[in-house]
Amino acid sequence: MSGAGGTGAGTERRSLARAVFGGTGVLSGAGVLIRLLGLASAPILTRLVGPSAYGVVALAGTISSLATTVAMMGVDLSYARFFFDGGDRSEAVERFCWRFSLGTGLAVSLLAGVGWWFGTEVLYGAGNLAVVVAAGTFLAVVTTMATTRLRIRGEYPRIAVATVTGGALGVVLSVLFAWRWRPDAWAMLCGALGGTAFTLAFLGIPPPSTLFRGSGLGAGRRGEILRMGSASAVTAPMFWVMGSADRWFLGTLAGQEPLGVYAFASGIALSGMLVNSAITVAWFPEMSREYEASPGDAAAGIGRLWGRLAALLMVTWLAVAAAGGDLLRLVADRRFHEGAALVPWLAGGVFFHGLAALANTGLVLRKTLAPTAAWWVAGAAANVALNALLVGRLGPMGASLASCASYALIAAGMTGSSQSRLYLPIPWRKLGGAAALSLAAGAFLSVPWSVSPLWSLMLKFPAGLAVAAALGGIAAPDWMRRIVPGDFLRPGGG
């Protein structure tokens, strides 16, 4: 990068590629390890707690997710963007963002606990989980800020280690609690809470001099930081609608057991979120750093890498769609097997969610997220309408279709809005060819190839690997030529 002694635009683009893909690879690998531990525990946990507990946990997750996003108000994104403005202002931005998020996190987590108590006690008799929901929300806020703090410092290995160790502990605790204490939602939520607390302890938080000292920023500067994240005041409830309307429709119209099956299938499909999250964690601070170093020259490199990240999302969808149903049949109790058919559609929603996050690039660089809020409103409205139309007729499959379609609407709309504000030369023709190939291959690979799920996975693996290589050849032929001799992550690669 030019700000770090780079020698030209080409060097800057290669540095950006190494930073983003290096961070994405480390974080995705950590997420895969946690997912594998979760799958390994599934035969025990699904048998111990049954579908109903998964349904309650899914509803608790929707409340905690909404509360966490409301509490953050986008300040984590502003933190990662404004920190690179340089000088003493970086430390002042950090102090302000931490103090703001801790205050809102405490207030909103308490409201989440109260809301859970009054909203679920009559319907599901689960009001006593309010304290766990509140604690989980506050820990999620602090963990998000702690992760952002390490992101902007490029400490991706530490984030990965914290994720793996905390996630592993959460899985182990959930199984132990269900086995030795009580086989219900309490065991699963308390296990996850313990894992999150350990993750936070490993990540670390700023010293007291940061948390208890005023930022020193003027009112105008504080307002600018909050305005960038203020779109979250709209997108937070919309995100909650997108992630929970399906569950509430299913819980009301179909009952807890179909909801539990859907929630477990969704958990398999959400494996793709590991890559989404890893890309987001690495992409936004690194491309902000790149843009601030050379605003006039950075767009070409950012657009080129944008396209390659989109292709990575396609490969991820293909992997989840191909293997997800077989994995579900392999690890889950027979009562959950009907959820296998839902996985490709739910994974499609995850793909478009990742594409929507990438579409934020131009808006973040221009420090305006108003179009993001508008498209999330449109997507949430479409989601509710489609769930109302489809769930009563198609059950869990209707909810899966509604999720995929509404996220696709958001991704398309946000891409157009972002490009109109900061044009990036994205290789759309290559991406179109890659999308056509991945869709055709996914339709072929997503169905079982054998009655035995393990044998089906083994049969699919070489075919899936070949298609993934072909996708890489379409989207990034120069990288594919260098991957074989292992040159990509060496200095000068990418």
Q: What is the pLDDT of residue 256?
A: 66
Q: What is the pLDDT of residue 30?
A: 74
Q: What is the pLDDT of residue 492?
A: 47
Residue 487 DSSP SS3: coil
C-alpha to C-alpha distance for 178 and 436, rounded to whole angstroms? 44
Q: What is the pLDDT of residue 493?
A: 47
Q: What is the DSSP string of 408-449?
A: HHHHHHHHHHHHHHS-----HHHHHHHHHHHHHHHHHHSS-S
| Number of neighbours of residue 84 by Cβ within 10 angstroms | 19
Exposed (0-12), middle (13-18) or buried (19+): which is 447, by Cβ within 10 Å?
middle
CA distances from 77 to 90, 208, 270 (A): 14, 23, 22
CA distances from 315 to 6, 208, 284, 345, 442 (A): 32, 44, 21, 15, 10
Q: What is the pLDDT of residue 85?
A: 65
C-alpha to C-alpha distance for 24 and 423, rounded to whole angstroms? 24
The upper half-sphere exposure of residue 127, i.e. CA atoms within 13 Å in the direction of its Cβ, equals 10
Q: What is the pLDDT of residue 8?
A: 35
- Are 320 and 271 spatial neighbours (Cβ–Cβ below 8 Å)? yes
C-alpha to C-alpha distance for 303 and 427, rounded to whole angstroms? 8
C-alpha to C-alpha distance for 386 and 232, rounded to whole angstroms? 23
- Cα radius of gyration rounded to whole Å, the chain: 22
Q: What is the mean pLDDT of each run of 10 residues along the chain (494 residues)?
A: 35 57 72 74 76 76 81 80 68 86 91 79 61 90 90 83 87 87 84 91 86 78 76 71 79 72 83 79 77 76 88 92 87 78 91 91 81 89 91 86 93 92 89 92 89 90 91 84 57 47
Q: Is the dihedral of CA 387, 393, 399, 403 positive or negative?
A: negative
CA distances from 222 to 34, 103, 210, 228 (A): 37, 15, 16, 10
Q: Which of 93, 388, 321 is nearest to 229 (CA)?
A: 93
- Are 156 and 23 spatial neighbours (Cβ–Cβ below 8 Å)? yes
